[in-house]
Each structure stands twice: as structure tokens, then as C-alpha cells.
Amino acid sequence: MAYLTLFLTAFVAATLLPSSSEIVLTAMVTKGEYTIWLLWLSATVGNVLGSCVNYWLGTQVLRFKDRKWFPVSQQNIDKAQQRFEKYGVYSLFLAWVPIIGDPLTVVGGIFKVRWWTFLWIVTLGKGARYLVVLAFALGVDKLI
């Protein structure tokens, strides 16, 4: 049940909803009752799947751009596309960064990044982030 809780917290944390899976992961590590690699896997898979939801939302969002209530102007969409093209698909490695990461995964969907490319880049970035969290929670010497 604890791994599922971490998975769900990480999933929600990757969407545009507020949550903090790092705190849950750190608390579980500190408790010392759980298998470290399963904690890492639960957090990583949950967080990546949350980003996949964002990607899917991004693939759908532009069909509403001509509606009055749509919150983003065409000018802002064009500006976002220029920035995304400037920094490229590899900017998705920053999908783990608070505040900018979740919108980046939506932008990946908006600008039709190839699915498998998106999945690999986001998984690598988020998996590495959780390794760093584990390293701080355990102490680097215990992780290796």
C-alpha cells in the first residue's frame, strides 16, 4: 500500500496539480521499512505517467484555441513554439524541475514531440531526479 501511495503522489505531482512526492519519498526512506529500488521505481513510474497525462492534454489543447475562454493568445503560443524550437526536444530533460517541468510536458504534447522520444527523455530526467532525492535521503555512500 505504501508503494501505491508513493506512486499516486508522484503521479499527481507530475500533473498540473500541486503535490510533493519528494517529501513522501524522503519520509519513506527515513522510516527504513521499504525496499529502496521499489521506492525509486514507484516514484519514477508514477511521475512519468503523470507527465504522459500532461503530454496528452497538450495534444488536445490547441483545438480550443479559437474559443473566447481560451486562456492563451496565439501570440503566446507562437512565442512558446519559438522557445521550444530554440532549446529543442532536449529541454524535456528539465521536466523534473518544479514550476517549469509540468508545463514543459504539456508543451511537448502541443508541439507534437514524437511519443517515444518524449517518453525516454522524461523518464531519464525524472528517474535521475529521484536518484538524487534518494542520495540525499540515504546519504550517497548508502545508495551506491
Parse the chain into domains and list their residue ranges. 2-143
Query: Would you state the torsion angle of the CA atoms of residues 37, 38, 41, 42, taken in this order, to the nearest 10 degrees?
Result: -150
pLDDT at 86: 84
C-alpha 139/C-alpha 8 separation (Å) is: 25
Q: Which mean pLDDT values do the consecutive 10-residue runs of the chain (144 residues) have?
A: 94 84 92 93 97 94 86 84 84 88 90 95 96 87 59
- DSSP code at position 95: G
CA dist 101 to 7, 28, 31, 67, 93, Å? 18, 24, 29, 26, 9
pLDDT at 143: 58
Provide the sign of the torsion angle of the four alpha carbons 112, 114, 117, 123, taken in this order.
positive
Position 70, amino acid: F
pLDDT for the residue numbered 142: 63
Class of residue 60 by CB neighbours under 10 A (exposed 0-12, middle 13-18, buried 19+): exposed
What three-state secondary structure class fits 72?
coil
Question: Residue 9 is placed in which grid cell?
Answer: 503522489
Query: CA-based Rg of the chain, rounded to a whole angstrom?
Result: 17
Q: Give the C-alpha separation, 136 to 93, whole Å.
A: 20
